[in-house]
Structure 1
């Protein structure tokens, strides 16, 4: 029985010493590393509509006109490539050519999920009864996503007048900036 008492006493002493040693160690919480939310990837696919402001310069008269306009369009994205079409109506200030309508197609590359660089070509008309006022359009632009469904757009478009027969007769230069809401 002496052996049993000694073994139980030794076991109790071991448990007591281990408990005292554990109580002396502070409990350290495991640090939690915050996980940053994944950046949202802007979706260039689908319909969009927006507003724009800018300036148009006519090379024949060297006059410049302020403009405000509305645009509606659609895009299709294929990996980093984006194809689209757009219809726009601009109101030109301080000119008898009060409205300018244009239809364009565009092709671009998304350099980053929120940055699109593109080229555009199309046709525009100032709806004027004097002169042709029709233009073949070509230009470059950049669009930047600033929210999940909002982008800012800046572009330059050159228009070659059709039907006048003279070089630079009524060519136009148009600079615009705008904001688009993507559906």
Structure 2
């Protein structure tokens, strides 16, 4: 009787579907909803520095990229555009509000575990207020979850460190964003 029971269990175990590692190869595109925190404008004049923190704001945007997978390792590149609306800061007693256009070019490297991709990013950022551009670098971490049927959801924390070079004195802009993302793979 135990032989027959073991045989049935073995037959069931070999016929049950296994959970396959997601395929992260190829192109993808999607939407971003972000919360901008730790937004700070700073400058240095004559050895003394000053900084102004902006209120938290939200951003929405689009992104697209391509991944190459080698076993559990995933490498790729991504281009993202988002807009932060009504970034407000109080400067010299006056409230200043501006919309920021944000362009991020990022390299990605990560490790896939089942249907989750954990990754780090680093790259170039350009932030524009419509009149002047701030350029610099970005870095961050994230995780994507493969829902199946080419759908992916994820979360990412991205820190940007940029400078308005045309200002005299130079003005630095630090903008950190936590975003949720949804994408389709092609």
**Corresponding position: 1:143 with 2:144:** yes
SS class of match (2:23): coil
Structure 1 alignment gaps of length 5 or more: 1-29
CA contact (8 A) 2:103 2:126 kept: yes
- How do 1:1-183 residues align onto structure 2 when only pairs under 5 Å count? 34=12, 35-57=15-37, 58-60=39-41, 61-95=53-87, 96-110=98-112, 112-162=113-163, 163=165, 169-183=172-186
Residue 126 of structure 1 and its aligned partner are, at CA, apart by 1.9
Query: Higher helix proportion, which one?
Result: 1
| Superposition CA RMSD, Å | 2.4
CA contact (8 A) 2:29 2:183 kept: yes
Bigger radius of gyration: 1
Quick one: distance in 2 between partners of 1:129 and 1:71? 21
Query: Higher strand proportion, which one?
Result: 2
Q: TM-score, normalised by structure 1?
A: 0.73
Deviation string for 1:18-70 (max 9, x for gaps)?
A: xxxxxxxxxxxx97955322324310000001111011231223222211111
Quick one: distance in 2 between partners of 1:155 and 1:167? 29
SS class of match (1:151): strand
The answer to which structure, 1 or 2, has the higher relative contact order (CA under 8 A, 6+ apart) is: 2
Residue 129 of structure 1 and its aligned partner are, at CA, apart by 4.6
**Count of matched residue positions in the alignment of Structure 1 and Structure 2:** 153
CA contact (8 A) 2:126 2:162 kept: no
Q: TM-score, normalised by structure 2?
A: 0.72
